[in-house]
A and B are shown apart, each in its own frame.
Chain A
Amino acid sequence: MLFSENPADRVMVFIDLANVQKAVRNKETSGFRLDYYRLVNELAGSRRLIGAYIFDAVSTSDRSAFNPKWRLLDALRFLGFRVMAREVNYGEEGQQKEVDVALATELVACAFRDAFDVAIVVSGDRDFVPAIERVRSEGKRVEVAFFGDAALPGEKSSFSVHLQRVADRVHNVDELPVLQVLSAQLEEPA
């Protein structure tokens, strides 16, 4: 690896939740669940983790406490993640509206505010390439984390090769111990 990890580096992690969930949907089988806390710590490594963002779109039609999406976001908030949830209305449910732009905007804004030294984008979406290039031109390091294997057999990997070209470093999350083994008793997914 060309770069070594500097413990003094300030790291911020930007997670495109929908992209990640799509990539792990066949890996989160019964008995295993993606541990986002473990994920960001594995990615930060020996460096100073100063913040982790979750970007997602949520439906405004169901705000009940039992909505799994709301529960997941609440759990992540409790762990210390900064959850940036864009709202979609009834007709747009299931779609990702404004999420990519929100992530890219926050990434660039934080870079301009000198809020981090290293940004780790957890997504395989090619749409982030311009934002990553802009942040790198500000002198910041940008790393990309992706799930290398295809989510489902016959499906293409969600990771864009264009992202790999612009990133300073690429983390293959498939090699990191980030899936939590659930106990034998029935555990509800968070």
Chain B
Amino acid sequence: MNGNKPVDLLELARQAGVAQAREHALEARRDSVQLVTFEHNRDPNRELPVGRHPATNRVVFPDMKRQGAGIKPGETYFCDLIEYHPPAGPSVYYANPITKVDASYLFDLRPEHVDKLVEVLLRSAQGKLLEQARAQIRLSAEQDTKHQISALAAEKEAARLENDRLKLEIEKLRQLVVVGSNGDQATRQSPVEPRSSATTRAISTRSHTHIADSQTSAVTGVVNRPAADLLSSPLLSDGRYFVHVSPNRQKLFIHPHPEGNLRAENSSLSVPSLSILRPFDGGEILEVSADPRVGGLSMSLAGTRHEV
């Protein structure tokens, strides 16, 4: 040993394994000391109170051969636990009380002790808390998923209904297009949009499906003009008609109506004042377009003249 150098006792102890042994001993003691609450034994043949190890949940009996004899049901102790491995079955613990935890003990605790106690309790109950939290999260997630599934199912059902409705609508429109493309035959068979009474002509909330001529109308036939005020065509089935003209006298619109003021007979419609709208220089042919949704024939009075 060098006499000039001071002796480092801690280093010396470490080298000798004393400190390490002490740390091991403290660690072992920390594990063996637990807070245990004892209850009545559920087994009617046994009178000893029992508790549960807070970390392992194994059974804890009072160590009756040592200081455990004073433990009564309902009491909580900081205990020194000794693990015992029986020949068969799980291990159990025998408890020797260190300090009884009661109201007076709690009142005497200083704040740092309370914090320490809470920390220990939390650490010991960590497994349980985690398990509870996991169960709650799982339950909540399951409920959310169920809600989402039911909402998606409702959306799917609504989409299916909407799809069916649109299919029906497309089918109706297709039929209308077919009727329109059949031209004069279709118009002859059913004068478009017949109206039955005066009230139907009144302003109402009905959907009026007029679309600009440039978008939907197509030339569907021709009308002969054998005389100045006479139009003749198979498109003009016998019956009553209204005839309208634009103020600039460029467009003529003929549509069937039960209360129409002009009557067509033998596929000929007399249109008074037609000669004012378009001078008559002999027989001519006028192109007409029909829109089955509007229900009428539209013709341009400004178009080129086609001689008969």
Contacts and interface: CB of A to CB of B under 8 A. Distances in A.
A147 B272 contact: no
A41 B210 contact: yes
Contacts of A87: none
B192 interface: no
B245 A32 contact: yes
A38 interface: yes
Given A52-B203, A79-B201, A80-B203, A181 B248 contact: no
A174 interface: yes
Interface in A170-190: 173-184, 187
B247 A24 contact: yes
Interface string A20-58: 000010010111100101101110111111111000000
B261 A187 contact: yes
Interface string B247-291: 110111100000001100000001111101000000000000000
Contacts of A90: none
Interface in A136-181: 147, 149, 173-181
Contact of B208 (A35, A46, A147, A178): A46
A7 interface: yes
Given A32-B273, A79-B201, A174 B248 contact: yes
Interface in A48-94: 48-52, 78-81
Contacts of A81: 203
B247 A149 contact: yes
A41 B203 CA distance: 9
A183 B205 contact: no
Contacts of A35: 242, 244
Contacts of B246: 174-179
Contact of B273 (A31, A45, A46, A48): A31
B81 interface: no
Contacts of B248: 149, 174-175
Given A32-B245, A49-B208, A176-B246, A181 B273 contact: yes
Given A42-B210, A79-B203, A180 B242 contact: yes
A49 B247 contact: no
Nearest to B271: A181
B189 interface: no
Contacts of B276: 29, 31
Contacts of B209: 7, 46
A187 B251 CA distance: 22
Nearest to A44: B208
A173 B247 contact: yes
B106 to A, nearest CB: 68
B207 interface: yes
B202 interface: yes
B243 interface: yes
A182 B210 contact: no
B204 interface: yes
B213 to A, nearest CB: 10
Given A180-B242, A181-B272, A187-B261, A45 B203 contact: no
A67 to B, nearest CB: 23
B211 interface: yes
Contacts of B205: 48-50
Contacts of A50: 205
A30 B275 CA distance: 13
Interface of A: 7, 24, 27, 29-32, 35, 37-38, 40-42, 44-52, 78-81, 147, 149, 173-184, 187
Interface of B: 201-212, 242-248, 250-253, 261-262, 270-274, 276, 298
Given A38-B244, A147-B247, 11 more contacts: A32-B245, A38-B242, A45-B208, A45-B212, A46-B210, A51-B203, A81-B203, A149-B247, A173-B247, A178-B247, A181-B245
14 contacts: A41-B208, A45-B208, A45-B212, A46-B208, A46-B209, A46-B210, A46-B211, A49-B208, A174-B246, A177-B245, A180-B242, A180-B243, A180-B261, A182-B261
